[in-house]
Amino acid sequence: MAKFNIESLNKEILPQVEASLWETYNDDPSDMNRLALIELYLPLVYKVAKKISIKLLGKVPPEEFLSSGVIGLHDAIIKFDSEKKVLFTTFAYKRVYGAMMDEMRKRDHLTRNQRDKYKKIYSTINKLTETNSRIPSNEEVADELSISIRELEKYKSIGNSMINLNQDFQEGMSYMDIISDEKSKSPLDEAHTSLAIEKMRGLFRSLTEREQKILFLRHYEEMSVGEIAAVFEVSIGRISQIYQKILEKMRKMMEK
């Protein structure tokens, strides 16, 4: 796996830099200019990787997903069409996420027999733990299963080195269930969202130009309050205050 500077992965994406790099790349889509965009969006890749890692209870550190995520990012940059008026971060999210999930599926290389033995071993460990009120030794587990210590350790190491997406997680769910795409919505959610968006569009037009721009930067460009403050050249506290007033104003209009 390629080495990444974790400190740089937590940096915010500055809109001014983003716009400049895209302008350069659109004029000259060379490998060098594409690499500059890849480096810019590495924090997005790391953000997606952390979400997946958290949902897998930390069994796979986010750094393990970065290389595959970069592949998805590279693909997104090449195929992105700015004419469609879609934010690149929105477009890239699914491709980065999809590339990471493909990597997870490749890691699931256990045969059915290996998986059954792996499950049986840990089922036996749980049973002996409950019976003896302590974690059993390898010798006790091997004796219970009538296998050798060497065979026991082999299957334990196989299981610990990978994640099976179809493996039971809890309450009848698999790991695949709990790391389903957060961007997807149920039909009911889609219906509520559609109605709300139509109403919000009408109210949005009644806001001042500055209020519209702040909402656009915050919710469509997904910029932080600090980044928006830099755009307007005011303090973070001032932008936060204005933003809260806009939300209150929109809330009151929605209630009417």
> What would the pLDDT profile of 192-244 be if each residue is shown by its tens digit?
555 566 677 777 788 888 888 888 888 777 777 888 888 888 888 888 888 88
> What would the pLDDT profile of 30-50 be if each residue is shown by its tens digit?
888 898 999 899 989 998 988
Task: Provide the percentage of residues in the chain whose pLDDT is more than 90.
Answer: 10
Q: Which of 56, 67, 96, 102 is nearest to 79 (CA)?
A: 96
pLDDT of res. 188: 43
- pLDDT bin (cut points 50, 70, 90) of residue 184 is very low
> Domain spanning 187-255: which superfamily?
PhyR, sigma-like (SL) domain (1.20.140.160)
Assigned CATH for 112-161: 1.10.10
Q: Which of 1, 158, 26 is nearest to 88 (CA)?
A: 26
List alpha helices for the chain, DSSP H: 6-9, 15-27, 31-40, 42-55, 66-79, 88-107, 112-132, 138-145, 149-160, 175-178, 187-204, 209-215, 225-232, 236-255
> What would the pLDDT profile of 109-165 be if each residue is shown by its tens digit?
555 666 677 778 878 887 888 788 777 888 888 898 888 888 887 776 655 545 555
- Residue 173 is inside which H or E element, if any? strand 173-174
Q: Which of 58, 63, 55 is nearest to 176 (CA)?
A: 55
Fold of domain 6-107: Rna Polymerase Sigma Factor; Chain: A (1.10.1740)
Cα–Cα distance for residue pair 222/215, rounded to 1 Å: 10
Segment 79-106 mean pLDDT = 84
Largest CA distance in the chain: 76
56: CB partners within 8 A, 6+ apart: 163, 175, 179
| pTM strictly above 0.75 | no
Cβ contact 75:96 at 8 Å? no
Please say if the pLDDT value at position 2 is more than 50. Answer: no
Segment 160-172 mean pLDDT = 48
- Residue 169 is inside which H or E element, if any? strand 168-170
Domain parsing of the chain, residue ranges: 6-107, 112-161, 187-255
Establish whether domains 6-107 and 112-161 are of one fold: no
**Which residue is associated with the tokens 């080195």?**
161
Please say if the pLDDT value at position 185 is more than 50. Answer: no
